[in-house]
Amino acid sequence: MTTLEDPATEVDAVGVHERRRVIGTSQLRKEDDRLLRGDGRFTDDVDPARVLYMAVARCPYPHARIVRVDASAAAALDGVEHVLTPADIRRDTEPLTVLRPVPGAPQLPYYALAQDVATHEGQPVVSVVASSRHVAEDALELLDISYEPLPHVVDVLAALEPDAPVLHPSVLDSNLLAANSDGSGDPDARFAEADVVVEGRFRINRVTALPMETRGVVAEWRPGARELTVHCSSQVPHLIRKQLAETLRLHESDVRAVASDVGGGFGLKLGVFPEDVLACLHAIALRRPVKWSEDRAEHFRGSTHARESVHDYRIAADSTGRILAMTNVYATDIGGWNSPFGSAQLSSVVFNGPYKISDGYTERRVTLTNKTPVGAYRGYGQPEVNFAYERLMDQLARRLELDPVELRARNMVTPRDMPWKNPVGAVYDSGDYERCLRMAADAVDWAGHRAAGRTPRPDGRLVGIGFASFVERTGYASSRFLAKRGSVFGAHESVTLRANRSGGIDVYTGVSTMGQSSETAFAQVVADVVGTDYDAVRVHAGDTGASPLNTGAFASRTMIAAAGALRSAAEQLAAKTRRIAAWQLEAPVDEMEVAGSVVRVRADHSRALPLAAVYTTAITGQGMPPEEEPGLEATAHFEPPDAAYSFGTAAAQVAVDPLTGEFDIERFVLVHDGGTVVNPTIVEGQVRGGLAQGFGAALTEELRYDPETGQLVNGSMVDYFVPTAADLPHVELLHTAVPSPVTPFGVRGVGEAGTIPPGAAVANAVCDALADHGVELSALPITPEAIWSALAGRSSGGGDPELTPTTTDLPDGGVEY
C-alpha cells in the first residue's frame, strides 16, 4: 500500500523539540478490544427488566387491498399484551417522514402499518407484543386478515407504461413519482456533429446491503419523566430522534435515541422504519420496554433494497476520440414507497465520471413498483452510472480502434483544470486522475497484454484486461446543496471535548460506531491537534442525550465534516490548557506546549505540569488564572464549504472460457486517492470492504422477483449469493494522496470507493478477452450464464422503448453540487 510520506515528526522553530504526529499513522483501533472480546453492545444486547417482544404480520401479496383485520383471537392468546392494527396507527401517529425528498415529488402517506392497500410483499399490517417472541409469532397465526389481491408490476420500465397498475392513484396518475433533469451546453448539437456515437441500455441489478446485524429496536417509556428512550441499530441517531418525535406527536426533548455499537449500516440504516414506530407505540401504551429484532427473512422483505435502475447512456466523440457530449436518461426503481433517503441521486451528480465535457444532460425518472422500497446503499448511484459510462468508453475505443487507456487519458480532467465544474454543477476540487490510470495500467502490464494479442491459452481460455476510472463525491457541498433539495438535515458535524481529572479527553459525538473506525480516527485527530497521547482520548458515540446535535454517518462525510469540528474544539481546549499552565509556571503562553501526558515550556522540559493536574485545576476552578472561567471543555461545529471528490482507477484481468462463459478474476488492482490519510490501516480496510460489496453486486448478488406472482423468489441466505472471503479475488491496492483544498487536513471520504469500479472493470475485461466474438455486456450481475448468452447472440434485454429526454421543463436536482 502506498500512502503519504510519514508526517510523524515536527521540529519547532528553535529545533529543540520533536513532536510525534498521530495523523498519518496506523494506530490500533479503539473499537477492537471490546468487539474482539465479544463485549460490544448491540441493540439485541440491550435487555431491560420486564421487557416484552414484538412480532409483525406482513402482507403476503405484492399489491393488495386490506379488506378486514380481526385481531381478537390473537389478543386473547395467553401471553399477548398488546396488538396494533392499521386503524390504531392512523389515529395515533403521523405518516413517516422523508429525510431527503425527491425534488418535485408529492408526499406519499406512508404509515407504520399499511392503510387500506399494501404495495409490496412484506409491508407491515399488524404488530403484536407478548411475553416472548415465540408467543408473539404464535399470535400472528391467529390473526384473521382478508386481502383482495390487486394487479401488480415489478419491472421498472413496465411500471412506466400507460396501462400499468398505478400504486398510489389518490396521489398520482402514473407510477412516475418524479423526474429530475440537469445539464448544460447543447448536447443535441454535439451529437449531430459527432463522427461517432456509442450508446447502450444498461441494466443494474437489485441488491441489499446485508449488514451482519439486522435492524432492531428496544423502546422504553418513562411516563413520569415523559421520556422515550430508543436503543436502535442506526447510522443517524439524531435524525431518528427527530423523525420519531414527528411521527409519534412528541416533542424532540421527549425522545432519546441511542445507537451504541452498530453491526454494519452501509446506508441501509438511515432514518426511521415502520418497526421503530410500532415498538415505541407499544412501549408507550404498556409502560414497559418493548424489543424487536429483525430476522433475516424479514430483512430481505422489510429493509430497503438498492441499486436497481435502467440507464440509456450515449457518448458523442470526434474521430480522434475527443468526447463531445454525454447523456444519461435513466429510470430508477424506488419500490412501493419513498423511503427516508429514497432514490439515489449520485448517478446524476457524477454522470460524466472523470471526463471533461462541456455539453451534457442527465435525467432521472423515479419509478414506483410493487417491491420493497429502495434506500441508500454504499455508493448510492455511483456504481450504477460508472458501469454505463465505462462500458461505453471501451466500446468507443473499439469503434475508433484506439487504446482504451489512451482514450481515457485524452479525455480526463487534468490537475490544471481544477477546480472544475461538470455540466450539472458538481465542482471537482483537485486530483490527478491520469496518474491513477497510468499506475493501474502499469501494475497489470497493459502494454505487454496489448503486445501479446488474444492467443488462447493451452486450456482454451482467453485473457482480457479491463479498466474502470471513476470519481466519487464524498460529503455534501454545504447546507446550500441540501436546502435546494428540501433535505431536512445539515451538512455540518458537531462534537464536544471535555477534559477529565485523569489527564484524558472525552469526545462526545452523535456519530454511531458501525465498523468505519470513527472512534479511532476521531481520537487521532484530537491527540494530534492537542499534542496529547492517543490512548488518553476516549470517544463516546451515538447517544443523543450526551452528544451535540449532528447529522450522522453516511455519504462518506463523517471524517470530512467531523475533522473540522474536532480540530476547532481541540484547539480551543489546548489553548486554554496552555494558558492555565503558563500562569502556574510563570512562563509566556506562546512558549508552552502539550507533549504526551504533560504541558511544558518548549525550551526547558524540566518546567512541566502533568495534564491531570492542569485539567483538575480547570475542573475545580481552584488555582485558575484570574481572567479564566472554570471548566475545560469545548463544543464546535463545522460545515465543509464544498464536497471533496475521491477518484481512482481499477484494472481487472480475467481468463474466460469462450465455450461456456466461465471466467476467473486473476488479478484486480485498484489505485485510489482519498486525500490525506489519517490512518492507513483503516483506509485499507474501508476500501477492501467496499470492494467486497462491489464484487458481490457485480458478480453474484441479485434480488429477483417473479413477474407473474410479484413474489421475491430468493429472499434467504440459501439463495441470495453474497460472496464469502473465499469467493473474492486477490486485490492489490495502490494509493496516491492528493490533499483536498476544501476539507480539514485535506481528507477525502474513502468508505464507498471500493463499490464503484468492480462491475465495469470486470465487464470490460471479459469483453476485451472476447472482443473477437463481438461480446458486449450490458447488465449486472456478470455471470457465466450471461456471458454464454452473449456468446450465443441471445439478448438479455426486451423490446422496451428507448428512454429519451423529456422535452418539457422538469424540476432540476438543485443548483450547486
pLDDT tens, position by position, 108-144: 999 999 999 999 999 999 999 999 999 999 999 999 9
Answer yes or no: is pLDDT of 797 > 70: no
Q: For position 801, what pLDDT does the model report?
A: 79
Q: For position 482, what pLDDT does the model report?
A: 81
Is 141 domain-assigned? Answer: yes
Q: For position 815, what pLDDT does the model report?
A: 44
Q: Strands across the sheet with 52-58, in order?
A: 80-84, 124-130, 52-58, 290-293, 216-222, 227-232, 255-258
In whole angstroms, what is the distance from residue 291 CA to residue 329 CA?
44
Give the domain-ending residue among 606, 623, 638: 638
Cα torsion angle, 74, 79, 81, 84, sign = negative
Q: For position 20, what pLDDT does the model report?
A: 64
The pLDDT tens digits for 390-428 are 999 999 999 999 999 999 999 999 999 999 999 999 999
Give ∠ CA 384-385-386 in degrees, rounded to 5: 95
Say whether 375 sits in a helix, a strand or coil: coil
Answer yes or no: is pLDDT of 157 > 80: yes
Q: For position 802, what pLDDT does the model report?
A: 82
C-alpha closest to that of 539 among 16, 10, 30: 30
* CATH classification of the domain holding 618: 3.30.365.10
Q: What is the DSSP string of 200-244?
A: EEEEE--B----SS--EEEEEEETTTTEEEEEE--S-HHHHHHHH
Answer yes or no: is pLDDT of 11 > 50: no
**462-474 and 644-656 beta bridge pairing:** antiparallel
Is 410 domain-assigned? Answer: no
Q: 395 — alpha (psi -120 to 50), left (phi > 0) or beta? A: alpha
Per-residue confidence band for 810, with pLDDT thresholds at 50, 70 and 90: confident
**Segments forming the whole domain that contains residue 502:** 492-638
Give the domain-ending residue among 277, 302, 327: 302
- Rounded to 5 degrees, φ, ψ at 64 are -155, 145
Fill in the amino acid letter for 426.
A
CB 782 within 8 A of CB 766: yes
Tell me what the mean pLDDT of segment 265-272 comes to.
96
Is 76 domain-assigned? Answer: yes
The pLDDT tens digits for 692-743 are 999 999 999 999 999 999 999 999 999 999 999 999 999 999 999 999 999 9
How many domains, in total, are found in the chain? 2
Is 627 domain-assigned? Answer: yes
Per-residue confidence band for 798, with pLDDT thresholds at 50, 70 and 90: low
Q: For position 425, what pLDDT does the model report?
A: 94
Is 294 domain-assigned? Answer: yes
Is 285 domain-assigned? Answer: yes
Diameter of the chain measured on Cα atoms: 86
Tell me what the mean pLDDT of segment 91-120 comes to.
95
Q: For position 35, what pLDDT does the model report?
A: 95
Per-residue confidence band for 805, with pLDDT thresholds at 50, 70 and 90: confident
The pLDDT tens digits for 197-252 are 999 999 999 999 999 999 999 999 999 999 999 999 999 999 999 999 999 999 99
pLDDT over 70, % of the chain: 96
Q: What is the DSSP letter of 618?
A: H
Answer yes or no: is pLDDT of 18 > 70: no
Tell me what the mean pLDDT of segment 324-334 comes to.
98
* CATH classification of the domain holding 117: 3.90.1170.50
Is 333 domain-assigned? Answer: no
Q: For position 357, what pLDDT does the model report?
A: 98
Is 179 domain-assigned? Answer: no
Per-residue confidence band for 813, with pLDDT thresholds at 50, 70 and 90: low
